[in-house]
Amino acid sequence: MSIQTQAEFYVRNVGDYDPAIKSAVALTEPLVTGFAQFSALLRTIYQDWRAYETSILPSERTKIGIMTDDLENYHNLTYTLDCLFGLATVGALCSQGATQYLVVEKAMFKAVYKKSVVLAFAMLETYGFYFTWYKGEKQVDEYKRCERFHVHYENGEDLLAAMNFIAVQLAGIERKKEMADKVAFMLADYTFILTGNINQAPVQQSIINTLGSVGELWKTLVLVIQGECGLVADSSFNPYVFPNRTITFKQGKKTIIKCGINVDELSIRLPLTFDAAKNLIENRTALPPNIQQNIAGFGCVNCGKCQNQRNLVMVEDIPLCNLPYSNFVTEDSRCLCFELTGMDEVGLIIGVIRRAVA
């Protein structure tokens, strides 16, 4: 295991500015150029994940399932982004001629970024940032001795202004919003940055990028269950440690299907009614092998709703619970849970959903 998968998820989810995004703020051409430079910088950082694999900790599994050395390496990467966000948040944009730079008061910076700056600053320097340190009016030679410092960037004259703009925009968004400021920053989520709203479109480019080779299967599935069947998509995003998206399709308040989005991976969780499960069992020999294997796992989940498994009905040697499912646990007694790999599986899902919402 390494941080490659996490970094790949992040790089595929970095956004690009789209003029179709409606913004209440007039955006200048240099600012839009700066957005492009910022997105490019983020992709460069995430693609450089090997440079963050510096941990010398013994490799032991943690309670959350990640190895200790991989977790430290992961933090090396994310803390660098946190540091960059801190600089953009507290830095005051200044200019000298055509050159722009950020003036950062050290005390303010330490209040928002409490980790060590050693690795983060060193990594940022490899991407074109450089720093000058000051104590009073005198320039000093290191961060430890300074009271304030200037942040410069040599690979794009509009990037610092764009970072500063993004930080200011995020600071003005209501705290009840679902996306943390630094998450929107680390993914250059321009929809959220410019509108304060989460992009709920299930076929947005970042999702298609993440799915990679199974993206076309996803488009076909969404076209039918959202367009024809009228289900409404609700998206949630976990950005930490094992980053992923979950898109839930609902009919009113009822969840019909949950879809997990990860790098080159689309997982499906589709609870079945008793009749739908019975129909699949009776026709399972014609179904894809992974669906047949899934069906073979139907059975009691010890939910406590009955005694001595009296609600189990044997359907062609498969034990099938006839209780109406009411929560996450009881759903598991007859639920299709698998990774989507082919169009035949898409057709099966569509057929089940069409009958469920009819």
How confident is the model at residue 175, as a pLDDT? 66
> Side-chain half-sphere of 60: how many Cα atoms within 13 Å?
4
288/278 Cα distance (integer angstroms): 16
Strands of the sheet with 244-251, listed across from one edge: 232-238, 244-251, 254-262, 265-271, 335-339
How confident is the model at residue 326, as a pLDDT? 63
Which residues, given as ranges, of the chain have pLDDT below 70?
A: 1, 175-177, 325-329
How confident is the model at residue 1, as a pLDDT? 58
Rounded to 10 degrees, what is the CA torsion of 17, 22, 28, 30? -10
**For 186-215, what is each residue's pLDDT tens digit?**
999 999 999 998 898 999 999 999 999 999
The residue written with tokens 């940032």 in the block is 129
235/248 Cα distance (integer angstroms): 6
**For 78-91, what is each residue's pLDDT tens digit?**
999 999 999 999 99
128 CB-near residues (< 8 Å, 6+ apart)? 153, 154, 155, 156
